[in-house]
Structure 1
Amino acid sequence: MVTFEGVTKRFGGSAGRPTFSALAGVDFAVARGSITGIIGRSGAGKSTLIRLVNGLETPTTGRVTVDGVDVGALDEAGLRSLRRQIGMIFQHFNLLSSRTVRDNIALPLEIAGVDARTIEAKVGPLMDLVGLGDKAKRYPAELSGGQKQRVGIARALATEPKLLLSDEATSALDPETTQSILDLLKRINRELGLTVLLITHEMEVVKTIASDVAVIDQGLIVEQGRTFDVFTRPQHETTRALLSAAVGVKLPEWISSDLASAPNPGDRAFVRLIFFGETAFQPLTARLAAEIGADLNILAGAIDEIAGEPFGSLVVSYPADAATLERAGRFYRETGLTTEVLGYGA
């Protein structure tokens, strides 16, 4: 649905202002019908990337296409036509305070010159879709944050777009409301076949809703793939840093700060066991204890779900003598259990 081909974007460079490269050569594709998340630190280039999709910015070099259409090559009329095929929801809702729920949703249709009868036929079902059928005559000041975002989503869907852009759409909401909005977006994606491209700094949002994810750092896509694959086996340092608190369990600082990279006599090995795929449903911890002996200590554990797939992690410790380490290593190789040695300590 969306492709970025060698895209760079530079700002400044005139009137004595230094040039700043927001994007430094992005090659990336958003699959049709997917929910794709873009994550990165502040200033990494997320917002610039999404503004290129609907023509609010143009690339310095490279090409952005939406459903095969080169966005940068469009004139004003072409951009207006494209933007009717792209819905957008915002962090702070951007509703008009003087218009009711019904009239806010109808606004894009009015701008497009749609007749009143057609508008009425479209707005009612949209209000029902987002759960606001009884709020047609309310004004934004009378709504909660979650209800305002539902109005924003219905407004974004009014022109029957192919693509929905979400710019930090849940970051101003509480966790319970965020979950309800994510459930709504998943339902819209499933029932309408709408492609969703979202940028967020909330790893929990991506973990819950996105089928695919891309990580942007200093204007470059440094890692991309299925959300489950990227979250469970991050390859890039930036990805690992972003996900460190979002996936799996961590040892308390008072333990991890004392761990060494090599064992001393009498030390224990501290190991994170990672369960997914076939290993998620097997009693491997009990089998590990039987393999290495009873001196297996379980320190922390969690069961999670990433993009609808089960994922578990367990931190254990056991003696770090050569014989025990050899038996544990052989067990991991035979079972395919993914592990991470966190360190060694008393």
Structure 2
Amino acid sequence: MSVSAQNAAPSADAAVVFDGVSKHFPASGTSGAFTALDKVSLTVDRGSITGIIGRSGAGKSTLIRLVNGLEKPTGGKVLVDGVDVGGLDEAALRSLRRSVGMIFQHFNLLSSRTVFGNVALPLEISGMDKRAIEQRVRPLLDLVGLADKHGRYPAELSGGQKQRIGIARALATEPKLLLSDEATSALDPETTQSILELLKRINADLGLTVLLITHEMEVVKAVTSDVAVIDHGRIVERGHTFDVFTHPKHETTRALLSGLPGSKLPDAVARALKPAPAAGDRAVVRLTFFGAAAEKPLISQLIKSVGAEVNIIAGTIDEIGGAPYGSLVVAYGADAETSGRAERFFVENGLVTEVLGYVA
């Protein structure tokens, strides 16, 4: 992924390029004019699974709708395989959309059609004959694990199975790029994990570029290789997922990461936090560790280093892209001597730290 805030020049490895893209919506009815995207520059590498994450209303869905021409930019360009999407006429747009598959949060299936019929629909619309459709759809149903459900109707299936139909349908036209707009947010955690594993397999086996829009950091952590954080229509942070998770630079990124299991503060502690310490207070600090540091007995070593009590408030050990990663929230004396010893320990062990506040 491009890491330049201003330069998103096309390259041979670019599947999608947002080049200074803005999108303004005029006043309409009771809604005033607003800017959904503000000079966004971003490169999505070919063959990657790239996540765009942000809060509701940050501009994520507008961004993804520009890729397949459902919206046109007010300024700048969106390039898909080097083609300026905003400059295409309707006929050229239809051709482009055959190379860009899309899966949706609410499945968008036709209740009157079987599983087979839903997957076959875009092929029927394109004029493909029945035999060719059969040869295309059957392997896709096998790929998504629904070969035995080909004659069933959506009402007979679970949410996860419906989303698998949506994925198979998105793959029917043999796209080079797959767009996922909050595709797992209506699913339970176990089903979400199975869908994410399917997307990873599709990416690996078919070499498909995946652009994934989500508000869930768990989804980003589980499946993406690269991530961009969007806030109020602007990209505020981007990079390899591991780097962004272990060295978050923007306050929006840190806020999103704080909601991950093991990072969220207990409500009682969060309510008691103060921005500055008083005599006898304790510092509440989030530690992020990875690589070799994840294998060390950090807390016992920290206690020895600071020579004082250290409380564990929250914590988790996980993996990002196969590399060990962990987060701990600890509390220790906020006095200058204890804090100084702790800070030296953190530097010596390559830990990323953030002081969250102070408690009595």
* Mapping 1:184-195, distance limit 5 Å: 184-195=198-209
Gaps of 5+ in 1: none
Counterpart residue type for residue 236 of structure 2: V
Counterpart residue type for residue 220 of structure 1: R
CA distance in 1, matches of 2:28, 2:284: 55
CA contact (8 A) 1:4 1:64 kept: yes
CA contact (8 A) 1:130 1:154 kept: yes
- CA separation of 1:17/1:283 partners in 2, compared to 1, >3 Å: closer, same or farther? closer
CA distance in 2, matches of 1:262, 1:141: 56
Aligned to 1:159: 173
- CA separation of 1:100/1:193 partners in 2, compared to 1, >3 Å: closer, same or farther? same
* SS class of match (1:165): strand
Aligned to 2:291: 277
Counterpart residue type for residue 150 of structure 2: A
Aligned to 2:6: none
* SS class of match (1:336): coil
Q: CA deviation at 1:17?
A: 7.8
- Could you list the per-position Cα deviations for residues 61-111 of structure 1 after superposition, in whole angstroms to 9, with x for gaps in the alignment? 111110111111212221111111011111111112222111211111111
2:108 to 79, 85, 94: 94
Q: Please tell me whether residue 72 in structure 1 is matched to residue 86 in structure 2.
A: yes
- CA separation of 1:268/1:143 partners in 2, compared to 1, >3 Å: closer, same or farther? closer
CA distance in 2, matches of 1:264, 1:17: 47
* Mapping 1:161-180, distance limit 5 Å: 161-180=175-194
CA distance in 2, matches of 1:285, 1:329: 14
- Could you list the per-position Cα deviations for residues 99-149 of structure 1 after superposition, in whole angstroms to 9, with x for gaps in the alignment? 211121111111122222221111111110000111111111221111111
Range with greater deviation from structure 2 (302-311 or 170-179): 302-311
CA distance in 1, matches of 2:158, 2:28: 44
* SS class of match (1:137): coil
Moved over 6 A (4+): 14-17
CA distance in 2, matches of 1:16, 1:337: 50
Counterpart residue type for residue 165 of structure 1: L
CA distance in 2, matches of 1:103, 1:250: 44
Aligned to 2:301: 287
Aligned to 2:344: 330
Q: Please tell me whether residue 315 in structure 1 is matched to residue 329 in structure 2.
A: yes
Counterpart residue type for residue 180 of structure 2: S
* SS class of match (1:240): helix
2:271 to 257, 261, 270: 257
* Mapping 1:1-346, distance limit 5 Å: 1-12=15-26, 18-246=32-260, 248-293=262-307, 295-346=309-360
Question: TM (normalized to structure 2)?
Answer: 0.89
CA distance in 1, matches of 2:211, 2:20: 19
- CA separation of 1:116/1:310 partners in 2, compared to 1, >3 Å: closer, same or farther? same
Q: CA deviation at 1:263?
A: 4.1
Counterpart residue type for residue 80 of structure 1: R
Range with greater deviation from structure 2 (320-329 or 186-195): 320-329
Q: CA deviation at 1:205?
A: 1.4
Q: CA deviation at 1:304?
A: 2.5
- Could you list the per-position Cα deviations for residues 7-33 of structure 1 after superposition, in whole angstroms to 9, with x for gaps in the alignment? 111222689985332222111111111
CA distance in 2, matches of 1:130, 1:214: 28
Counterpart residue type for residue 36 of structure 2: A
CA contact (8 A) 2:246 2:352 kept: no
Counterpart residue type for residue 66 of structure 2: L
CA contact (8 A) 1:208 1:308 kept: no
Larger radius of gyration: 1
* SS class of match (1:94): coil
Q: CA deviation at 1:191?
A: 0.7
* SS class of match (1:134): helix
Counterpart residue type for residue 63 of structure 1: K
CA distance in 2, matches of 1:328, 1:13: 54
Counterpart residue type for residue 198 of structure 1: L
Gaps of 5+ in 2: 1-14
Question: TM (normalized to structure 1)?
Answer: 0.92
Number of residue pairs the alignment of both structures matches: 346
CA distance in 1, matches of 2:200, 2:345: 40
CA distance in 2, matches of 1:189, 1:121: 21
- CA separation of 1:272/1:9 partners in 2, compared to 1, >3 Å: closer, same or farther? closer
- CA separation of 1:15/1:206 partners in 2, compared to 1, >3 Å: closer, same or farther? closer
CA distance in 2, matches of 1:323, 1:54: 58
Range with greater deviation from structure 2 (156-165 or 43-52): 43-52
